Amino acid sequence: MAVAACRIKVWCENVQDREDEKVRAIYPDGMHNTIADGLRELLGEAASVSTATLHEPEHGLTQAVLDETEVLVWWGHFAHEDVEWDVVERVQSRVLNGMGLVVLHSAHLSRIFRTLMGTSCHVNWRDDDEEELVWTVAPGHPIAEGIPHPIVIPEQEMYGEFFDIPAPEELVFVSSFRGGEVFRSGCCFTRGLGRIFYFSPGHEMAPLYFDPVIRRVIANGVTWAAPSTPSGAVRDDSYYGELDWFRPSGVAPPWPPVETRVRPPQ
Amino acid sequence: MAVAACRIKVWCENVQDREDEKVRAIYPDGMHNTIADGLRELLGEAASVSTATLHEPEHGLTQAVLDETEVLVWWGHFAHEDVEWDVVERVQSRVLNGMGLVVLHSAHLSRIFRTLMGTSCHVNWRDDDEEELVWTVAPGHPIAEGIPHPIVIPEQEMYGEFFDIPAPEELVFVSSFRGGEVFRSGCCFTRGLGRIFYFSPGHEMAPLYFDPVIRRVIANGVTWAAPSTPSGAVRDDSYYGELDWFRPSGVAPPWPPVETRVRPPQ
Amino acid sequence: MAVAACRIKVWCENVQDREDEKVRAIYPDGMHNTIADGLRELLGEAASVSTATLHEPEHGLTQAVLDETEVLVWWGHFAHEDVEWDVVERVQSRVLNGMGLVVLHSAHLSRIFRTLMGTSCHVNWRDDDEEELVWTVAPGHPIAEGIPHPIVIPEQEMYGEFFDIPAPEELVFVSSFRGGEVFRSGCCFTRGLGRIFYFSPGHEMAPLYFDPVIRRVIANGVTWAAPSTPSGAVRDDSYYGELDWFRPSGVAPPWPPVETRVRPPQ
Amino acid sequence: MAVAACRIKVWCENVQDREDEKVRAIYPDGMHNTIADGLRELLGEAASVSTATLHEPEHGLTQAVLDETEVLVWWGHFAHEDVEWDVVERVQSRVLNGMGLVVLHSAHLSRIFRTLMGTSCHVNWRDDDEEELVWTVAPGHPIAEGIPHPIVIPEQEMYGEFFDIPAPEELVFVSSFRGGEVFRSGCCFTRGLGRIFYFSPGHEMAPLYFDPVIRRVIANGVTWAAPSTPSGAVRDDSYYGELDWFRPSGVAPPWPPVETRVRPPQ
């Protein structure tokens, strides 16, 4: 359970906060740095936080980087289709092998989230700067710890149901919007050994990632998604087990090479 | 709930039952025809059952065929990687739009199942002709209706945990094997509007698809997976909703073109 | 799966619709009869619907009546504490043995629902005749079949989160209210062999049980909750199993007397 | 997430380990002390562990004791019906308000577990000193951390399906027995704010609570069940909310007196 110096990588596409004047005015240091600052502020010595963006070679997510990452935070919007499938597969493999993943706002349509969900992840939406209320429906969940009920967000993009995801294993937050729509806004999933938390508030047109409550939700999500030491059940591939392999007289099957690719090469 | 004349397509790769003498001796008409016969026998007039195999153009799963299919049954083993990704995407899209999918035995590693799960779907396994016992852990579930507790299968391939799937939304059957392993052998999932049932017994080296109990499980699974009439919540894409679109004064958002592709083009 | 002539009992406490002039004006025949009429209208020959109320001996729910009931619909509000615990235990036992249960509106605080949930079932609430929107979050679920997205209810009592129930096994509907609150308004549970559907709209101060859409939800819920033929896994008590009892050479354990009481005698 | 000095109470009925010579030979200090020693050994300064038994006034579980308890560990067998319902209600209320509960072995039939589950909790069983294998089906779950796959227990009482519990929210372990039966042996539930972990190995006729692996599972379970600081969503009763109570202009509803009783007074 110890999350001491959990190695966290905040990945943002860094497109609108570089090219769109309005977004740049809100996030002059880039959204990735603002989100990372929030985690540093709240997790302190319990975390080691760095960032990466779309523009770096391999989007800053080389195998070596991912191997050292325990929780990856992902924000994307305009450039989902510019993320290389090779990188997506690499991230998926790391999640299946235990890396936590926190997916924010419009990253519901990112390649990595859709790949891990197996669904379209589409939503109903409206960009009308309307009030969002985020209600806790699992008050004993660690991600809800210290979060007001409800969170009142004055101006947000509306995301509404039907949100095409598999039923969350744990549903933590449900939002309503001034226009009347509802949204499953805080959702937990497990894939392989990895834990995934999706949190929808975080429109690029509002300074939400400076907000202390939103920062707290994300920090809680990162803490929840941080991996335990993998147990003995971990295998990266199908493998053959001789009869009684697990008994003293048995022979444990050889550890197979890591191969969890579920997508075609380009 | 009515499943009158439910349109069922049984798809098998038809490789071993064509090329491997031993399998051919067990399934001289092909596994697809045997499975289809079992459904015809048990569902009678409630079903209209046809078959398709890998060897047909587009594997027999053209868009027109899928559009008319309400439940697709899938068996594959040796030739998973020969199934075209275009067909896989087409099947995925149909599942998200409501088509039921029943996945059998070694099809846990099929492209379509891995795509819908988002995980590796790997298992521990052993081919040692050992007894499998299939225990019901959800006795009120419609798929368990009329099924003995346990099902005793004299000789089966062992599939053991850890089975790398998302936690099933409903777990119906758990198996044990003579060697001591256990396996979540009957698992229900929902993806989009579609229902998916995975059932693991069905090794090609045993005549299981002639067995009345196994046939009953598959027929129950098909019945469970058959779609309801889609409700008003169905959308195939993200879509914009004007304020109050759902009120009498509102304007419903235009229906967008169908596009649920979550994979790269080849 | 056939629900032909499903035997349905609609139970209402029949207190406000007898003693409160305003409620009586809305439901002159009693809520139980109105709800029953809705089921007869929509299910036709597939259902045999009768009613019972608090005022009958044993509240109209003798063992003989329950033994013949396949789905019980329950509405209560003012008189929860007047329902005898003996009857509650009897109903619980029937649910565990496969009877479906549809729990409506303020019956979230009924003894039978709290007993089956194990929680307080408390909610936030407000009686302010405000608009409720009921959104489908599981559009492929049979209970959502044919239901508009959203259902627009002009005037309703507000029920808000946190709703102290175990996480629903299937969450079908989520409501929002004009005041901003949200509520998990359509929830599915399984207890023993029995299926339970809770649906919150149905304030006694509005003629909702005459509404065709609300009637359709309840009819869908009853159909979903109707039991399958119990499978071989059904047992009413702990029981001893000799080694190999399930094999041809084995001896099946004797069927024990039914005893599922989990509450103290008064 | 910090569980520093988590206040843990180990409750055992202490009947067989006092009166039955064979059990006393295995647990000369009582099962409660052995279990407590295991927690002290593994959790060290992170835990403050004390014990209580059936024989103390109010079974050692006064309101004051429970108010200070963060996780309660429960083992019972012969004396379930000797536990006062008043104490059971008090424990239930504390669980709903956030106290963790770890339920061991034959305590599946304890009043507190049955009350929280809402079901009979019956199992199939056989006392034949046979091998149990405990397989991890959720290898990324914190309770599986460091646990071998499988745990091999040479001699155990058999508990088999159907285990009449609600579907676990998280299924961590599944056991098989030499006789072929399977059992959902590690199950997580949430009730109100409280987390509940059931773990079945622990027959009083074997020295399992001295076993380092079994101790590790229990310590992991206690750590997982330890409460977070209650969030703002916590309410102990239904409560009225004026329109806009959660907005700056609104008036928060008064905090109601604590009352979560769901059972009848004796």
Please tell me the least confidently modeled range out of A198-202, C141-145, D126-130. Answer: D126-130
CB contacts < 8 A (C, D): 141
Q: Is pLDDT larger for residue A79 or for residue A228?
A: A79
Residue A193 lies in a domain: yes
Query: For chain B, what is the radius of gyration of the CA atoms?
Result: 19
Query: Above 80 in pLDDT, residue D252?
Result: no
Looking at chain B, the whole-number percentage of residues with pLDDT higher than 90 is 76
Residues 6+ apart with CB under 8 A from B144: B136, B138, B172, B173, B220, C228, C231, C233
Q: Which residue of D has its CA nearest to B133?
A: D180
A137–C181 CB contact, under 8 Å: no
Domain annotation covers residue B112: yes
Domain CATH code at residue A72: 3.40.50.880
pLDDT attached to residue B246: 76
Q: Which residues of chain A does C150 touch, with a Cβ-Cβ cutoff of 8 Å?
A: 180
**Cα separation values, C258 from A47, C90, C194, D117, Å:** 56, 11, 16, 19
Residue D240 is predicted with a pLDDT of 74
Q: How many CB atoms lie within 10 A of CB B256?
A: 13
Parent domain of A66: 6-118+186-232
Closest CA to B44 of B225, B223, B224: B223
**D220 or A206, which is more confident:** D220
Nearest C-alpha neighbor of A101 from the set A32, A185, A9, A206: A9
B184 vs D contacts (CB less than 8 Å): 137, 174
User: In this predicted model, which residue has the larger pLDDT, C255 or C131?
Assistant: C131
Which of A137, A140, A150 comes nearest D98 by C-beta?
A140
- pLDDT at position C3: 44
**Distance separating alpha carbons of residues D71 and D125, to the nearest angstrom:** 28
Residue A72 lies in a domain: yes
Within a domain: C146:
no
pLDDT range class, residue B263, cuts 50, 70, 90 = very low
pLDDT band at residue C265 using 50, 70 and 90 as cut-offs: very low
Query: Rg of chain A's alpha carbons, rounded to an integer?
Result: 19
The pairing of strands A100-104 and A239-240 is unpaired
**Phi-psi region at B146: left, alpha or beta (left = phi > 0; alpha = psi -120 to 50):** left
Q: Is the pLDDT of residue A258 over 80?
A: no
Mean pLDDT of chain C: 89
Nearest to A166 among B162, B179, B189 (CB): B189
- For residues A105 and A157, give the distance between their C-alpha atoms in angstroms, rounded to a whole number: 10
Q: Quick one: average pLDDT of A82-106? A: 95
CA distance D165 to chain B (A): 10
* Per-residue model confidence as pLDDT tens digits over B81-96: 999 999 999 999 999 9
User: Encoding tokens for residue B33?
Assistant: 């025809």
Which pLDDT score is estimated for B249? 64
Residue D151 contacts residue D220 (beta carbons within 8 Å): no
Model confidence, pTM: 0.93
Give D26-46 pLDDT, tens digit per residue: 999 999 999 999 999 999 999
**pLDDT, tens digit, 9 for 90 and up, residues B52-64:** 999 999 999 999 9
CA distance C264 to D5: 36
Task: Say which residue the tokens 């408390």 belong to.
Answer: C122
Per-residue pLDDT, A255: 35
Token pair 């090794």: residue: B203
Q: Does residue B171 form part of some domain?
A: no
CB count in 10 Å sphere of residue D128: 15
Tell me the C-alpha distance between B148 and B208, whole Å. 15
Cβ–Cβ below 8 Å for A176 and C182: yes
Residue C251 in any domain: the answer is no
Q: Which of A122, A134, A135, A185 to mutate to test the interface with C (most CBs of C within 10 A)?
A: A135
Does position C99 have pLDDT exceeding 60, yes or no?
Answer: yes
Mean pLDDT for chain D overall:
89
Under the banding of pLDDT at 50, 70 and 90, the label for residue A232 is low
- pLDDT for D199 beyond 50: yes
C-beta of residue D103 within 8 angstroms of C-beta of residue D199? yes
Of D133, D141, D145, the CB nearest to A229: D145
Binning pLDDT at 50, 70 and 90, where does residue C231 land? Answer: low
Q: How far is C217 from chain B (nearest CA, A)?
A: 12
pLDDT at residue number A253: 45
User: Could you say which of D124, D239, D260 has the minimum Cβ distance to residue C124?
Assistant: D239
A128 lies in a domain?
no
Residues of B in contact with A263 (CB under 8 A): 263-264
Q: Is the pLDDT of residue B233 over 70?
A: no
Q: What confidence tier does C128 reach under pLDDT thresholds 50, 70, 90? A: confident
Q: Does pLDDT of D231 surpass 60?
A: no
| Chain D neighbors of C241, CB-CB under 8 A | 124-126, 158, 160, 179, 181
In a domain, A207, yes or no: yes
> Minimum mean pLDDT among A32-41, C237-246, D174-183, D197-206: which range?
C237-246
Give the best residue of C223, C231, C246 to mutate against chain B (max B CB count within 10 A). Answer: C231
Q: What is the mean pLDDT of residues D232-259?
A: 58
Whether pLDDT at D232 is above 60? no
CB B141 within 8 A of CB A143: no
Q: Are A192 and D3 within 8 A, CB to CB?
A: no
Q: How far is CA A107 from CA A110, A168, A262, B131, C22, in A?
A: 5, 16, 21, 47, 51
pLDDT confidence bin for A225, thresholds 50/70/90: very high
Q: How far is C229 from chain D (nearest CA, A)?
A: 16
| Among the partner residues C139, C167, C182, nearest to A182 by beta-carbon distance | C182
Residue B248: which residues within 8 A CB-CB, separation 6 or more? none
| D243/C124 Cβ within 8 A | no
Q: What are phi and psi of D15, to 5 degrees?
A: -105, -60
Contact C117, C166 (CB under 8 A): yes
- Are the beta carbons of D210 and D216 closer than 8 angstroms? no
> For chain B, what is the domain count?
1
Q: Closest Cα partner for A7 from A67, A62, A63, A48?
A: A48
Both tokens of residue B103? Answer: 């996945």
Secondary-structure percent of chain D, ordered helix, strand, coil, rounded to 5:
30, 25, 40
Confidence of residue B245 (pLDDT cuts 50, 70, 90): confident
Lookup: tokens for C106: 């303020």
What pairs with residue D211 in β-bridges? none
B158-176 pLDDT, tens digit per residue, is 999 999 999 999 999 999 9
Alpha helices in chain C (DSSP H): 16-19, 21-26, 31-43, 63-68, 85-96, 111-117, 212-225
pLDDT at C2 over 60: no
